[in-house]
Amino acid sequence: MSNQKPPRRSFLKKLSNLGLAGFLGTTLPAFSQVKSSQSLTNHTDGDYHFLTQPYLQCFSPNEIIIRWITNKPGKSWVAFGEDKNLNNIATPQTKLGFVEADNTVNSIILKNLKPGKTYYYKVCSKEISSFSSYPKYGITIESQVFSFTAPDEHAKEVSMLILNDTHDRPESIPHLITLNKNKPFDFTFFNGDIFTFVHNEPQIIDHFINPVLQSLGSTKPFMFVRGNHETRGRYARQFDRYFLTQNNRFYFTFNWGPVQFIVLDTGEDKADTHNEYAGVIDFDDYRIEQATWAESVMKTKAFKKARYRVVLMHIPHFNSDEKHGTTHVRKLFHPLFEKYKVDIVLSGHTHKYGIHPPDEQHSYPLIIGGGPEDGKRTLIQLHADANELKVNMLRDDGVEVGNYIVKP
C-alpha cells in the first residue's frame, strides 16, 4: 500500500450521476424483463470510480461482510475502527496463495467484532490499470466514513424488515421500507424474486443494490435469499459474486437476539426436466442437500434451546400452487419443521399476502408476503424479545393487513 494519501473522490456525486440516476428515473411494470443494459445506467465508462456505496451483510456472530462495486478492476481494502481514526485495515481473503484482486465486486469480512459496538469504516480501492506479468496500478479512491453497529447474537431483542417479490420494480424498495417510519430495526431481509430474470450487473445495481442503499444507507445490513426468478437468466450464474455468504452457499443459519433463523433456498418451481431449462439445472438434489444440512442444524442444542426458531424461504409449501418445486419443498422440509418444532415460517412467491395460522396441515403459522403490483405489495415487520415474537404485515398504503404473535 502506498504511503501517499489517496485522492478523495466525491463518492455521493458519482452515485448521483450513475447508479441512483438510473434508479430514480426508472419505473417498471410488474414482471418487466430487462433484456439488455440499454435501459439501465452504463456503468463502465469514465475514470475509476465506485458504482455503489458499500453494502453490509451479516451471516455470522462477531462478523460483518462489506461489499461494494467499482467500474474497473482493482485491489481493495477497508479501514475501520472503534473511532473515526480508523486504525485497523481489513484486506480481502486469499485463495490458493492469491489475495483476491483484479476484480470489480469487492468483498471483505471484518472479524472479531465486539457485539453491539459501533464501528466506523471507509472502503478503499486502487485501480489495476493493466495486468500482464505483474499488475500496474492507477489511482486510489476512497469512500466517506460510515458507521455500523456490530450484530449481537445475545441481544435481548431483535427487529427486522422483510420484503419479497418486487420483480424489477426498484421504486418499491424505498417505498415499502419507508412504511416502517421511525421504528428501530436491526436488519432487512429480502425473501426472493427481487428480479424477474437476471440479465446483467447494471440490473443488479440499479434495481436492487442502489435502491436498498437509498433506504438503508451503508449503516444497516441486509440479507437475501434467492426466489425461483433469481435462478433465471444468464447472469443468474454470476449472482453469488454479489450476495453469497462466507460459507459459499445461498442457504444459511444465524442467531440474532432470542431468534435462530434458518434460511432455505427453495430454487426453481419448475421441474429440473422442464424443456425451458435444457438440462442445465439440478434443484432437486440441491434441495435434498439443504434438507440434510437443515436437519443437522435443527439437531443442535443451540437450535433446540433457542427461544424462537424462524424459517425464511421463498416458496411456501402450503397455501400455494402444486408445481413440482412447491411439492418437493413440502416433502423435504415440512417433516423437519414439525419434528424440530419450528415456530414460524415466512415466505413469498404467491403474490397473495396472508397470515395462515396453524391448522390440520401444519402446526406452525405460515406468513406469506404480497406481490409486485400496487395494492399487493407488503412490508413484514418482525420483532422478538423474551416475552413474544410478533409479526405485523403492512400493505403498501400503510394499512395493517395481518399480524401474528408467537409465545415462547
Reported as a single tens digit per residue, the pLDDT across 158-213 is: 999 999 999 999 999 999 999 999 999 999 999 999 999 999 999 999 999 999 99
Q: Are residues 195 and 290 in the same domain?
A: yes
Domain coverage including residue 307: 158-406
Instruction: Judge if 323 and 196 occupy the same domain.
Output: yes
Whether 3 is covered by a domain: the verdict is no
- Judge whether 41 lies within some domain: no
Query: Are 386 and 406 spatial neighbours (Cβ–Cβ below 8 Å)?
Result: no
Supply the pTM of this predicted model: 0.89
114: CATH? 2.60.40.10
Q: Are residues 133 and 165 in the same domain?
A: no
The pLDDT of residue 40 is 64
Supply the pLDDT for residue 172.
Answer: 99
**What confidence score (pLDDT) does residue 247 get?**
79
The verdict on 166 and 140 lying in the same domain is no
Q: Judge whether 2 lies within some domain.
A: no
pLDDT given for residue 38 in this prediction:
39
Looking at the domain assignment, is residue 116 inside a domain?
A: yes
pLDDT at residue 244, as a whole number: 82
What value does the mean pLDDT of the chain take? 91
For β-strands 259-264 and 308-313, DSSP reports them as parallel
pLDDT in tens, 1-24: 434 444 444 444 344 444 443 333
Residues 65 and 143 in one domain: yes
Q: Could you tell me if 127 and 180 lie in one domain?
A: no
Are 258 and 385 in contact by the 8 Å Cβ rule? The answer is yes
- Last-in-domain residue among 99, 125, 149: 149
Task: Bin 308: left if φ > 0, else alpha if -120 < ψ < 50, else beta.
Answer: beta
Q: What is the pLDDT of residue 406?
A: 99
Q: Are residues 218 and 132 in the same domain?
A: no
Give how many domains the chain has, as a whole number: 2
Question: Residue 147: its pLDDT value, please?
Answer: 98
Whether 95 and 118 map to the same domain: the answer is yes
Domain of residue 334, CATH code: 3.60.21.10
Res 248: pLDDT: 84
Q: Which of 149, 179, 204 is the last residue of a domain?
A: 149
Asked if residue 398 and residue 336 are part of one domain, the reply reads: yes
Flag residues of the chain having pLDDT under 50.
1-38
Q: Is residue 365 one of the residues assigned to a domain?
A: yes
